[in-house]
Amino acid sequence: MQSYSFEFNAWRIKFTGSKVKITQILFLMEKRLKLHLNLKILLVFIFMFMLNWAHAQLPPCDPGLGNTLDQINNTPVTVSINSNNCKVLVPDLLSRWVASPGPGFDLISVSQAPSSSEQITMPGGSVCSNDDIEVYIEAIFFYFGDPTNSEDDILCSIVLSDFFDAVDETMPSFVGFGDMTINVTNDCVIDAVDVKLLLKKAHVKDNCTSKDYLVANSWVTPCGQNPPPDPECPEGIQCWTFHIVDACGNEKEQDIDVTVNENVPPVINLPNNFTLNANVDCEITELQLLALVNASHVSDNCTSDATLLANLQVEYGGFECISYLPGEPMVTCPYNPEGVYCYTFTTTDACGNVSNPEVVSIYVKDVTAPVLIAPADFSVCWPDPNYPFQNFTLEPTVIEACDADCDITCIIYSQRILSLTNPPKGAYGNNVYPVINLASGPRLAKVRVCAQDLCGNGALNPPLNAPLPGNCCIFNILLEYDEGCAPPLKDQRDLTDSYNKLERVSQELNHNSTDEDFDLYLGAYPNPFRDQSQIHFNMAQGGMYRVSLVTQTGKVVKILNGFGQQGRNVLGIESRDLEFAGVYFCHVETPSGSQTLILQRSN
């Protein structure tokens, strides 16, 4: 403890301890000693010089000296912490105390520390600022004994404690916090966790508690939420109550309307391509295309697969795809057995969000067999008993959608003689043209004819005991023997059309339609064939012949040159002689003319 001593003539004053009200001591000395004016002035100068040591601590008063300091009011004192800066203003507590000097003592002063009207900064942040503040009440007493003896002077104090409660009663507040918008995430759920994120640090404040604490200890509760009009679309306005509480438990709440938006588009994930079978009109329908997409191909965060499929749309379009005009056949075999088209699929969720376009290649196949409508029974003149039985391919009516531009010569036919009277014959096989050796008089042949289109649809030789398929028909032909009639021939127009097709693709054969020789009676069996076939033709006289097998693109794949005999000639064709399965033109040239037929190698 520091002590300070000053001497002036016979006077020595020693200060040891806490603050002394020097002016009061000076007044007491003047009163007791009746100092003359010059001495008073000098003492004032000395005491004013001593103000720098005014906070020294005084020794406590001896209880036996009779000095007292008593609290006369014990009522608790509560002071609110400032609502702006978390400081508390110290109240005046002196009125709750009474000081009495003992015999020979004078009461110099009664004071408190900290003094009234002083502001104390309270703790805050993440802790409560409420606290009991201790205030020291000090009474100073002075005993001035013998003026000539400074040793009997006494300066002492009594120090006791008083308390007041500093209480933070200020509620936290929302700053600039009002109605907001929130977007639904992939889980399609708006809950308290999502909504609480709307409360930023910038939106709250408190006089003592930190913003971090307010945000971390906030929570939200619903305050009235109507279900969305569409259960698969969560969009709407929801009312939420935000609650914030400071470290001392002061709570504030505010209701806001949260507008919920759903902006996540649905997704379509399809394979790169599909293969579809054309319908009877050789087209694919929108219903077929939509049926390609099932629940495993669509997804959305909110909308059900059923709704996505119901909202599915498909449009023709894309890059590097075959041009297609609605209403036209999509397949023309064999030139384009599997046409590829581009289609774009999109769907819309319950909130109106449209998926990204999904472009898919669609391969279209013709799987519909042609349909044959049988003609009425008819008669033909048969000029020669040894003339082979011929095909009658002109008679049935052919209905074929995908090859509608082809005439009847584009269709591969198979004929069976189911029965023949006088003499009776059993069924002959595909395209077998037997020598019937007809005797004089009419004979009735029951004939079955089957058609196969250029895509290979339609069985050419179905079992005899099975129901007749639509690509086959049965009719009766009356064979009338008459040496004076011309043999039955294929229609001139059909042969010319076949020949003209060959001319367009194979001009190197150096013949024209005027060379057509109908007496060749060109045929093949079996046709179509898998492993081997026989080409047969008649020659009016012996001579050189040339047989050319030509693809539909005009490529000559095989040429057979030889010397033919008068009458019927037969040549063998192996599957290895041809490059691939499909349709070929078989063109036979002799010195007298030429003829063309369609030959098909099957798989």
Beta bridge partners of 163: 134
Give the burial string for 437-468 (b: 16+ CB within 10 Å, else e). Answer: ebeeeebebbbbbbbbbbbbbbebebeeeeee
Per-residue model confidence (pLDDT) at position 72: 95
Q: What pLDDT score was predicted for residue 81? A: 95
pTM confidence score:
0.57
CA 50 to chain CA centroid, nearest Å: 85
Q: Which residue has the tokens 């009061």?
A: 24
What is the tens place of the pLDDT at every residue in 363-374? 888 888 888 888
Q: What is residue 378's predicted lDDT score, i.e. its pLDDT?
A: 82
- Token digits of residue 495: 């042969």
CA separation for the pair 212, 85 (Å, rounded):
17
Q: Is the distance from CB of 549 to CB of 562 less than 8 angstroms?
A: no
| Dist CA 363 CA 86 (whole Å) | 78
What distance, in Å, lies between the first and last C-alpha atoms of the chain? 121
User: Which pLDDT value is given to residue 457?
Assistant: 84
- Write down the pLDDT at residue 393: 56
CA 592, CA 545: separation in Å to the nearest integer? 10
Beta-sheet pairing, 180-183 with 251-261: parallel
Secondary structure element (H or E) that encloses residue 523, with its range: strand 523-525
Distance of alpha carbon 584 from alpha carbon 259, whole angstroms: 71
SS3 call for 284: coil
Stretches in the chain below the pLDDT threshold 70: 1-56, 318-329, 332, 334-339, 382-395, 403-413, 422-442, 481-515, 518
Q: What is the structure's pLDDT at 292?
A: 93
Query: Which pair of structure tokens corresponds to residue 97?
Result: 């105390």
CB 14 within 8 A of CB 3: yes
Planar angle of CA 299, 304, 306, nearest 5 degrees? 100
Residue 409 CB neighbour total at 10 angstroms: 22
* CA atoms within 13 A of residue 269's CA, in its CB half-sphere: 8
88 C-beta neighbours (distance < 10 Å), count: 22
Listed residue (575, 381, 567) closest to 488, CA to CA: 381
State how far the Cα of 23 lies from the Cα of 44, in Å rounded to an integer: 8
Q: What is the pLDDT of residue 12?
A: 35
560-596, pLDDT tens digit by residue? 998 988 777 888 888 888 888 778 888 888 888 888 8
